[in-house]
């Protein structure tokens, strides 16, 4: 009996010890968790403090003055200077466009070029601006005013296109304050975004055929926005449509026709219609309309003053006809075809090698036409198009007078190499592809040159021997 009592006593003791050990273990775990949480909070506070210390502000960035801008950046200056040079060039085109308008300020305009998207978001947040849904924007009022973009993840071409677009908003504010209606402000920004900068000058009126195709489909399916509605649309309605994905900028790359119309695409094409219509009276009426808007007139007042006797439904009909018949602009068409012909020459050199010297210019042209090359070539920086040497139109371009002019294809012997030149001289600017070929038919390189005043060929000097 005593033995059983002893066993019972020992069992109870072990149970108490077990509970004590479990309790002690729980206390240890709680202590470890508390210590971990405290350490995490301390680390978070240190990180927040560190972020505040390295906050990106105007004062913390490298800055300098260009011809037209005060530049701020946290990126390397050598990575930014080409974009600033581009923006200075485009600003000259803005000045020409706003000729006759008095600028609000004579001082240089601010441009902030951030290294990454997060840098841009943090920078804007510091000044009370939400930039989470933007690739770039023009900020006005408050503690910050200027053009703000970031570089990371963007190609050079897309950064420059964004600068041309947002740069126009900044220029419009510089010359006209907040006077431009939303459709005109965005349409003109798209107009400059679609332009090319060539040899220090801006080629305006460039036609993006993919976007034109989208708008043609909208017109044919009666899904465009009535012109009267677009021209009178408030900024609030524009933004509301964007939130509902009606007429969003995604329409640039979408082949679908969305309800309500593509606001950005349609606004761009309305501007293109007014700026490049064949009749001077239409171009003059738009300039008069814009002047009236700049003086504070309402849309109705400005329209009645500029388009005397023209009903809105008739203007809409003229605009639809313009879009449905719109073709590739001369510059874009020639550039596309020259790119293709350069590919054809390259293929020919690869197949014929050092036999190239046997052909004169006319024989070379004949050989190229018989080569039966079909290739996809980039159009409008967004779209690809297939083209073939069997297409007769690819061998000529529309000159400034609208006539079809053959491309000039010729060989040039320069030092120890041969160059094949493909030239379109009667467009503005003139353009020339140079395919450089070394000994044995080895292709050494390809370059596309432009000239606003035509090309001048200088024959290389020959070394004289005694």
Q: What is the CATH number of the domain that holds 92?
A: 3.40.30.160
Residue 234 resides in a domain: yes
Q: What is the pLDDT of residues 379-398, one digit of tens each?
A: 655 567 788 999 999 999 99
- Dist. CA 421–CA 97, nearest whole Å: 35
DSSP annotation of 327 reads -
Asked if 348 and 302 sit in the same domain, the reply is no
- 119/114 Cα distance (integer angstroms): 6
**How far is residue 235's CA from residue 148's CA, in Å, rounded to a whole number?**
21
Expressed as residue numbers, the domain containing 398 is 339-451
Contact, 74 vs 56, CB < 8 A?
yes
In a shared domain, residues 348 and 432: yes
284 in a domain, yes or no? Answer: yes
Count the alpha carbons within 13 Å of 393 in the hemisphere toward its beta carbon: 5
Position 246 scores a pLDDT of 53
C-beta atoms surrounding 357 within 10 Å: 12
* Same domain for 309 and 215: yes
Which residue, 258, 290, 324, sits at the end of a domain?
A: 324
Helix axis angle, 299-306 relative to 280-294, nearest 10°? 150
- Do 148 and 220 sit in the same domain of this protein? no
Tell me whether residue 169 is in a domain.
yes
Question: Are 423 and 344 found together in one domain?
Answer: yes
Query: What per-residue confidence (pLDDT) applies to 447?
Result: 84
Place of tokens 């003229």: 318
| Same domain flag for 351 and 407 | yes
Rounded to the nearest 10 degrees, what angle do helices 209-220 and 263-276 cross at?
Answer: 100
pLDDT in tens, 334-349: 988 998 999 898 888 8
Domain assignment present for 194: no
Domain co-membership, 316 together with 345: no
Q: Tokens 């950064």 sit at which residue?
A: 159
Predicted TM-score (pTM) of the model is: 0.78
In a domain, 72, yes or no: yes
Comparing CA positions, the residue from 206, 201, 186, 205 lying closest to residue 95 is 201
pLDDT tens-place values along the chain, 466 residues long: 554 444 455 445 444 454 444 454 445 444 544 455 555 555 555 544 444 446 889 899 999 999 999 999 999 999 999 999 999 999 999 999 999 888 877 788 999 999 999 999 999 999 999 998 888 999 988 889 999 999 988 888 899 999 999 999 999 999 988 888 999 999 999 999 999 898 888 999 988 888 898 899 999 998 899 999 999 998 888 888 877 765 444 444 433 445 434 889 999 999 999 999 999 999 999 999 999 998 889 888 999 999 988 899 999 999 999 999 998 888 888 988 998 999 898 888 887 766 777 888 998 899 899 888 888 776 655 567 788 999 999 999 999 888 999 999 998 887 777 889 999 999 989 999 998 887 655 556 778 888 888 776 544 443 333 3
CA–centroid distance for 117 within its chain: 16
| Structural tokens at position 102 | 């008095």
3 state DSSP class of 194 = coil
For residue 298, is it within any domain?
yes
Q: CA-CA distance, 118 to 135, in Å (whole number)?
A: 11
Closest CA to 421 of 353, 347, 342: 342
Task: Quote the number of domains for the chain.
Answer: 3
Q: Are residues 261 and 369 in the same domain?
A: no
Q: Give the pair of three-digit tokens for residue 414.
A: 């320069």
Pairing label, strands 417-424, 408-414: antiparallel
């Amino acid at each position: 009996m005593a033995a059983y009592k002893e066993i019972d006593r020992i069992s109870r003791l072990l149970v108490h010890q077990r509970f004590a050990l479990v309790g002690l273990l729980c206390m240890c775990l709680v202590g470890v968790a508390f210590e971990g949480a405290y350490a995490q909070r301390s680390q978070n506070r240190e990180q927040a403090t560190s972020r505040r210390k390295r906050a990106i502000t105007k004062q913390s960035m490298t800055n300098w003055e260009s011809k037209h801008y005060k530049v701020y950046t946290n990126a390397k200056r050598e990575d930014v200077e080409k974009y600033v040079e581009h923006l200075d060039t485009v600003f000259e085109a803005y000045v020409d466009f706003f000729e006759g308008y008095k600028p609000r300020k004579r001082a240089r305009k601010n441009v902030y070029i951030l290294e990454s998207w997060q840098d841009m978001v943090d920078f804007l947040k510091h000044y009370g601006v939400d930039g989470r849904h933007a690739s770039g924007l023009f900020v006005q009022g408050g503690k910050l005013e200027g053009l703000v973009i970031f570089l990371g993840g963007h190609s050079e071409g897309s950064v420059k296109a964004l600068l041309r677009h947002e740069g126009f908003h900044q220029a419009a504010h510089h010359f006209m304050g907040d006077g431009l209606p939303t459709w005109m402000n965005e349409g003109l920004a798209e107009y400059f975004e679609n332009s090319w900068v060539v040899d220090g000058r801006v080629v305006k009126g460039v036609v993006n055929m993919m976007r034109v195709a989208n708008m043609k489909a909208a017109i044919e399916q009666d899904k465009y926005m009535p012109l009267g509605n677009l021209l009178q649309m408030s900024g609030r309605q524009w933004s509301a449509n964007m939130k509902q994905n009606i007429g969003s900028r995604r329409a640039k790359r979408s082949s679908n026709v969305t309800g309500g119309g593509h606001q950005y695409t349609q606004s761009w094409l309305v501007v293109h219609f007014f700026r490049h219509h064949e009749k001077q009276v239409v171009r003059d009426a738009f300039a008069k309309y814009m002047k009236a808007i700049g003086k504070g007139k309402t849309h109705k007042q400005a329209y009645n003053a500029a388009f005397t006797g023209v009903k809105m439904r008739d203007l809409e009909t003229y605009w639809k006809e313009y879009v449905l018949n719109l073709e590739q602009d001369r510059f874009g068409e020639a550039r596309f075809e020259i790119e293709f012909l350069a590919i054809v020459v390259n293929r020919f050199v690869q197949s014929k090698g050092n036999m190239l010297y046997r052909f004169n210019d006319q024989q070379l042209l004949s050989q190229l036409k018989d080569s039966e090359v079909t290739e996809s070539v980039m159009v409008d920086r967004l779209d690809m198009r297939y083209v073939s040497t069997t297409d007769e139109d690819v061998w000529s371009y529309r000159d400034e007078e609208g006539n079809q002019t053959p491309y000039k294809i010729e060989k040039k012997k320069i030092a120890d190499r041969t160059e094949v030149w493909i030239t379109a001289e009667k467009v503005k600017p003139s353009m020339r592809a140079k395919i450089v070929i070394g000994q044995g038919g080895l292709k050494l390189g390809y370059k596309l040159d432009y000239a606003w005043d035509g090309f001048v060929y200088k024959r290389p000097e020959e070394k004289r021997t005694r």
